[in-house]
């Protein structure tokens, strides 16, 4: 059995083979921006578009991460780091499994986003800045979080009493004050085409 | 944008749609058993077989979990619980993404495996007991861990000075003392067929 082990290890289904099968590169697309800037909305729009084009894609965001894998983490700086680390590691598994991961998270600190990029060694990580003025985000406020932050009920809320470091050189900027969802989605798909993620033929 | 949000949420690509696309159910197959019983070997054999049949499948085991997501956990009882919890939550994400997850882990405690089954609500969790006498596992000892455990260099090693609760009613038992890898793989694929995981047509 031990000798066979070696043979079967050679038989592992590697990422490159999965990429060929799905006919697209796997990688991590981070959508970063303020709360209510439109990150998850855009991510799910792209998910649908790419799925309909037979790509294998999955969205990670607060909805499926904070209630599951990271439900035992607070919003302290230390726990935010662990939150980030786990999201990176889970994304690496998905990327290894041949998928395009759309990660929609605020990630307000530049150093956190740089950590992400480094862990992916550059070539299968794209940073998309979902840009929107804080005033517009506050007007949208779908979960009433901004209101609570202004009232001091929530402390350390990004954009209110906690900073958001704007990306200096993101791979793409989507201004959701001016761009509608369809255009936003097309911009991301264009980026994926430009970077030769889609269609390996 | 807020109103659109609702529409896009309806457009999410759900597990059922992914299952139809891949033409198989998604779910978690746990391969439990002693160290060196053959869990990962069997898992990777099935991975190859199913990938060649166009199924979308991924292996989680010590190799990709302990060095990544769970690299900050020890082998204390508390950390073992957190190890289990994270593996369950990551598996749930993969299952939601439409995949068959092959999880090859010792998981020596019955209560841990029951926790897993409960988190998956039964219908997309299968427990496969990779059975092998400890004497055979010790002879194989590919990483020299049993030798170290016998010498007292490693403490609390499953099967040596820490218990392994045999599964009482696993979905399948594979006796790797008597069964070769090809047969083992076929047994698992037969189980998946019997339980109607493969081919939804």
Question: Residue A142 domain-assigned?
Answer: yes
Total of domains in chain B: 1
Band (B4; pLDDT cuts 50, 70, 90): very low
Domain residues for the domain of B60 are: 2-194
What CATH number does residue B74 fall under? 3.40.50.300
Q: Check CB contact under 8 Å for B1 and A41.
A: yes
Inter-chain contact B93–A64, Cβ cutoff 8 Å? Answer: yes
User: Is A77 a member of any domain?
Assistant: yes
Distances (CA, A) of B137 to A1, A59, B60, B133, B163: 11, 41, 21, 7, 15
Confidence class for position B7, pLDDT limits 50, 70, 90: very low
Q: Is residue A3 part of a domain?
A: no
Kindly give the pairing relationship between strand A27-32 and strand A125-131.
Answer: parallel
Give the contacts of B162 (CB within 8 A, at least 6 positions apart).
Answer: B108, B156
* Closest listed residue to residue B29, CA positions, set B105, B117, B126: B126
Contact of A2 with B140, CB cutoff 8 Å: yes
Output the furthest CA–CA distance in chain B (Å, rounded). Answer: 66
Say yes or no to pLDDT of B28 above 90.
yes
For residue A109, is it within any domain? yes
Encoded tokens for A12: 């592992």
Q: Find the helix packing angle between B181-194 and B39-52, rounded to 10°.
A: 60
Q: Which of B9, B90, B176 sits opposite A93 (nearest CB)?
A: B90
Helix (H/G/I), strand (E/B), else coil: B59: strand
The predicted structure's pLDDT at residue A6: 32
Picking from A101, A122, A12, the residue whose alpha carbon sits closest to that of residue B63 is: A12
CA-closest candidate to residue A90, choices B141, B91, B7, B3: B91
Considering the domain boundaries, does residue B46 fall inside one?
yes
Starting at the earlier edge strand, list the strands of the sheet with A57-61: A57-61, A100-104, A27-32, A125-131, A172-175
Q: Does residue A199 belong to any structural domain of this protein?
A: no
Residue B201 lies in a domain: no
CA-based nearest distance A74→chain B, Å: 16
pLDDT in tens, B12-27: 899 999 999 999 999 9
Closest-CA distance, B169 to chain A, in angstroms, reads 27
State residue B81's pLDDT score.
93
Question: Residue A146 has which token pair?
Answer: 């901004």
Residue with tokens 């990306």: A167
- DSSP, collapsed to helix, strand or coil, labels residue A121 as coil
The Cβ of residue B161 has, within 10 Å, a number of other Cβ atoms equal to 12
Is the separation of the CB atoms in B28 and B91 below 8 Å? yes
Q: Is the dihedral of CA B129, B151, B77, B104 positive or negative?
A: negative
pLDDT digits (tens, 9 = 90+) for B37-88: 999 999 999 999 999 999 999 999 998 999 999 999 998 889 999 999 999 9
pLDDT for position A11 = 61
Instruction: Quote the pLDDT of residue A41.
Output: 93
Neighbours of B174 (CB within 10 A): 25
Chain A positions in Cβ-Cβ contact with residue B41 (cut-off 8 Å) = 1, 4-5, 8
Residue B200 lies in a domain: no
Chain-centre distance of CA B57, in angstroms?
Answer: 11
Q: How many CB pairs under 8 A join A and B?
A: 103
**pLDDT one-digit tens code per residue, B128-182:** 999 999 999 999 999 999 999 999 999 989 999 999 999 999 999 999 999 999 9
- Report pLDDT for A77: 86
Measure the CA–CA gap between A106 and B172, rounded to whole angstroms: 44
End-to-end CA distance of chain B: 39
- ipTM here: 0.92
**Rounded distance between C-alpha atoms, residue A106 and residue A33, angstroms:** 5
- Give chain A's residues under pLDDT 50: 1-10
A80/A74 Cα distance (integer angstroms): 7
Q: pLDDT tens digits, residue range B86-134?
A: 999 999 999 999 999 999 999 999 999 999 999 998 679 999 999 999 9
Nearest-angstrom CA–CA distance, B49 and B43: 10
């Amino acid at each position: 059995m031990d000798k066979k082990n070696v043979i079967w290890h050679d038989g592992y289904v590697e990422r490159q083979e999965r990429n060929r099968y799905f006919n697209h590169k796997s990688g991590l697309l981070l959508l970063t921006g303020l709360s209510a800037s439109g990150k998850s909305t855009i991510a799910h729009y792209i998910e649908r578009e790419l799925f309909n084009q037979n790509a294998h894609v999955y969205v990670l965001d607060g909805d499926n991460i904070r209630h599951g894998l990271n439900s035992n983490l607070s919003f302290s700086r230390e726990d935010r780091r662990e939150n980030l680390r786990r999201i990176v590691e889970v994304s690496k598994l998905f990327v290894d499994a041949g998928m395009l991961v759309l990660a929609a998270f605020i990630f307000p600190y530049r150093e956190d986003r740089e950590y992400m990029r480094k862990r992916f060694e550059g070539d299968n990580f794209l940073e998309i800045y979902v840009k929107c003025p804080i005033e517009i985000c506050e007007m949208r406020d779908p979960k009433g979080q901004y209101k609570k932050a202004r009232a001091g009920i929530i402390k350390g809320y990004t954009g209110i009493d906690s900073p958001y470091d704007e990306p200096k050189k993101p791979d793409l900027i989507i201004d959701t004050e001016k761009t509608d969802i369809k255009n936003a989605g097309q911009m991301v798909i264009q980026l994926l085409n430009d970077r030769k993620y889609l269609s390996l033929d």
